[in-house]
């Protein structure tokens, strides 16, 4: 059913592309250090994804379908559904933005296997945590979109830092960075697992009164 609302995916992808264009317009491709590039990439991804993820539960609450869902399906199923959709959304955004990013701001080198790993694990962590926050703020009475950013950001900070740090290892050729990035992949995986598991457990409390 979410697939019918294709506009969400389109809007998010467009957001990512626009941001990318703006950034690359402001920054010249070669003179930027790899850690700045890494940071930029993840900031773009983060904001694009967040703008799309925040509506996951709000639409249900506002349209009045949330209660019907509450009665019909177990909480875990509801959460899993939203989470899977959000994960797909994040992956699509990554698939669209990253190649463009690499073209606009080409880094020194690109370690593709690491890159895929970071994008996958980071993306999972992102959607896991953000979906939960979306569930939280959906029940608020006012100022939901701003609230989403305020609440989601601190929780996602570790992810952002980790992913950026790992991406540095992807983008430059320093062996120490590379080794560190591999370690970071492990932690990213841990983050994704922990946050998603926590979300699953806590969601039940949040969803039912």
Partner 1 sequence: MGGLTLDNVTMAYGPRVLFAGVCAQAGPGETLVVTGANGAGKSTLLKIIAGLVRPEEGRVRREGAFGYAAPDVHLYAELTGRENLAFFAGLRGLADDPDALLARVGLPRGRGGDLVGAYSSGMRQRLKLAVSLLGEPPLLIWDEPTLALDAAGGERVEEILGRHRRGGGVAVLAANDPVEADRWAAGGVRLHIGAA
Partner 2 sequence: MNEARPPAPNSGGGEAIGRIALLLLLCATTAGGFLWLPPARGFQNPALARIVVFHVPCSMAAYLASGVATWYAIQYLRRRDLGDDIKSRVSFALALLFWVLTTLTGAIFAKVQWGAYWNWDIKQGAILMLTLIYVAYFALRAAVADPRKRATLAAAYCLFAALSAPFLTYVLPNSTPDTLHPKGTLQGGLSPEYSLTLWGGVLGLCLVYVWAFRVHVAVETLQMRLHKRARRQRRVVSATVWPPAPAQN
Stretch of 3-11, 26-34, 101-109, 142-150 contacting partner 2, by CB under 8 A: 142-150
Within 8 A by CB and 6+ apart from 173, the residues are: 108, 109
**Among positions 109, 153, 173, 174, the unique one binding partner 2 when judged by CB under 8 A:** 153
Stretch of 14-22, 42-50, 93-101, 194-202 contacting partner 2, by CB under 8 A: 194-202
Asked if residues 44 and 119 have their Cβ atoms less than 8 Å apart, the reply is no
d(CA 138, CA 74): 18
Stretch of 49-57, 64-72, 103-111, 163-171 contacting partner 1, by CB under 8 A: 64-72
Residues 74-133 that bind partner 1 (CB under 8 A): 77
Asked if residue 198 binds partner 2 (CB under 8 A), the reply is yes
Compute, in degrees rounded to 10, the torsion defined by CA atoms 75, 86, 132, 190: 110
Stretch of 61-69, 82-90, 138-146, 181-189 contacting partner 1, by CB under 8 A: 61-69
**Among positions 157, 173, 174, 179, the unique one binding partner 2 when judged by CB under 8 A:** 157
Q: Which residue has the tokens 């467009």?
A: 14
**Among positions 13, 58, 162, 181, the unique one binding partner 2 when judged by CB under 8 A:** 162
Measured in whole angstroms, the distance separating CA 104 from the mean position of its chain's CA atoms is: 21
Nearer to partner 2, 68 or 198 (CB): 198
Q: Which residue has the tokens 């009475």?
A: 141
Asked if residues 115 and 38 have their Cβ atoms less than 8 Å apart, the reply is no
Asked if residues 195 and 131 have their Cβ atoms less than 8 Å apart, the reply is no
Residues in contact with partner 2 by the rule CB under 8 A: 129, 132-133, 136-137, 139-144, 147, 150-151, 153-159, 161-162, 165, 180, 187, 190-191, 194-195, 198-199, 202, 205-206, 209
């Amino acid at each position: 059913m979410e697939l019918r609302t294709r506009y969400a995916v389109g809007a998010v992808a467009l957001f990512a592309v626009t941001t990318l264009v703006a950034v690359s317009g402001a920054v010249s491709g070669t003179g930027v250090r790899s850690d700045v590039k890494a940071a930029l990439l993840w900031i773009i991804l983060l904001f694009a994804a967040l703008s799309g993820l925040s509506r996951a539960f709000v639409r249900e609450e506002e349209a009045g379908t949330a209660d019907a869902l509450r009665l019909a399906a177990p909480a875990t199923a509801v959460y899993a559904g939203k989470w899977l959709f959000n994960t797909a959304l994040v992956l699509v955004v990554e698939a669209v933005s990253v190649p463009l990013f690499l073209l606009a701001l080409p880094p020194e080198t690109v370690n593709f296997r690491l890159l895929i790993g970071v994008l996958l694990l980071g993306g999972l962590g992102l959607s896991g945590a953000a979906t939960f926050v979306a569930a939280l703020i959906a029940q608020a009475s006012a100022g939901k979109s701003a609230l989403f950013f305020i609440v989601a950001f601190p929780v996602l900070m570790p992810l952002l830092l980790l992913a950026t740090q790992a991406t540095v290892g992807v983008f430059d050729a320093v062996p120490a960075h590379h080794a560190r990035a591999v370690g970071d992949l492990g932690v990213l995986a841990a983050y994704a697992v922990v946050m998603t598991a926590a979300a699953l457990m806590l969601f039940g409390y949040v969803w039912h009164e």
